C-alpha cells in the first residue's frame, strides 16, 4: 500500500526542470536602460546553452528595430551564438527607443522568443545610421506564430513561479506519504487486534 501511495504521489509532481524553457538572464544594453554612447553590437545572455541547430548560428535571430514606433532594422550582420550568449552587430540611427526582438532554440529543443527595449540618447553630432527596411538575410524574420513567449529574468521575470510549484508539489508528496504511513499502521493494528480475538 505504501509503495502504491508513493508511486501515486510522485506522479503528481510536475517535471519542471526538464521541461522548463530557457529564459533571459541579462542583456547589453540592459532592459529599459538609456544608452548615451554609440553601440557596435547588442547581446543577450540566457540561463542555459543556446542550441545552434544549423551550426552557423542561423537558428538564432536577434533584431534591433526603431527608433520609437518605426520598424527600421539596424543590424549590420547576422546573430552569433556563443555558449549562453547571442549577439549581433549594429549601427543605430537617430535618438529614441529601440526594440531588441529575439528568437532562439531553447536547450529543451523548443523555439522561444521575446523582446526588450532600451533608449538611445547619443551625444549631439553623433552620426546616425540609415538602417534598412528589412533584416539581413540570415535565419529569417522572427516567426511569432510558432514561438513560446518567455518571461525575462533581466526584465523582472524569473523561475520563481516554477520553483514555487515544485516546492508545493514536494510538500504535497510528503503529506500524502505521511497519510499513507498512518493508514498502514492502522491496518496492521486492526489485523493484530482481530488475530488476538481469534486466539
* All structural domains of the chain with their residue ranges: 24-120
Mean pLDDT of 68-88: 97
CATH architecture of 24-120: Sandwich (2.60)
Which three three-digit cell numbers place residue 155?
Answer: 526584465
Q: What is the pLDDT of residue 161?
A: 42
Q: What is the pLDDT of residue 170?
A: 65
Q: Which of 52-56, 88-92, 177-181 has the lowest mean pLDDT?
A: 177-181
Give yes or no for a contact between 134 and 63, defined as CB atoms under 8 angstroms apart: no
What pLDDT band is residue 54 in, cutting at 50, 70 and 90? confident
Mean pLDDT of 140-147: 48
- The chain-wide mean pLDDT, for the chain, equals 80
Q: What is the pLDDT of residue 176?
A: 66
Q: Taking the model in full, what pTM does it have?
A: 0.64
Give yes or no for a contact between 96 and 9, defined as CB atoms under 8 angstroms apart: no
Amino acid at each position: 500500500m505504501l509503495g502504491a501511495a508513493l508511486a501515486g504521489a510522485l506522479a503528481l509532481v510536475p517535471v519542471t526542470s526538464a521541461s522548463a524553457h530557457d529564459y533571459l538572464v541579462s542583456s547589453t544594453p540592459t532592459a529599459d536602460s538609456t544608452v548615451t554612447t554609440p553601440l557596435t553590437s547588442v547581446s543577450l545572455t540566457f540561463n542555459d546553452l543556446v542550441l545552434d541547430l544549423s551550426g552557423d548560428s542561423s537558428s538564432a535571430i536577434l533584431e534591433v528595430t526603431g527608433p520609437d514606433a518605426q520598424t527600421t532594422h539596424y543590424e549590420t550582420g547576422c546573430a552569433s551564438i556563443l555558449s549562453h550568449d547571442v549577439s549581433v552587430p549594429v549601427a543605430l540611427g537617430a535618438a529614441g527607443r529601440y526594440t531588441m526582438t529575439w528568437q532562439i532554440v531553447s536547450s529543451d529543443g523548443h523555439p522561444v522568443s521575446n523582446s526588450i527595449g532600451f533608449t538611445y540618447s547619443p551625444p549631439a553630432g553623433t552620426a546616425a545610421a540609415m538602417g534598412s527596411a528589412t533584416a539581413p538575410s540570415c535565419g529569417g524574420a522572427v516567426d511569432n506564430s510558432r514561438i513560446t513567449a518567455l518571461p525575462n529574468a533581466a526584465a523582472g521575470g524569473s523561475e520563481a513561479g516554477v520553483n514555487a510549484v515544485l516546492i508545493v508539489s514536494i510538500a504535497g508528496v510528503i503529506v500524502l506519504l505521511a497519510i499513507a504511513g498512518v493508514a498502514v499502521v492502522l491496518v496492521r493494528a486492526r489485523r493484530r487486534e482481530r488475530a488476538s480475538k481469534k486466539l
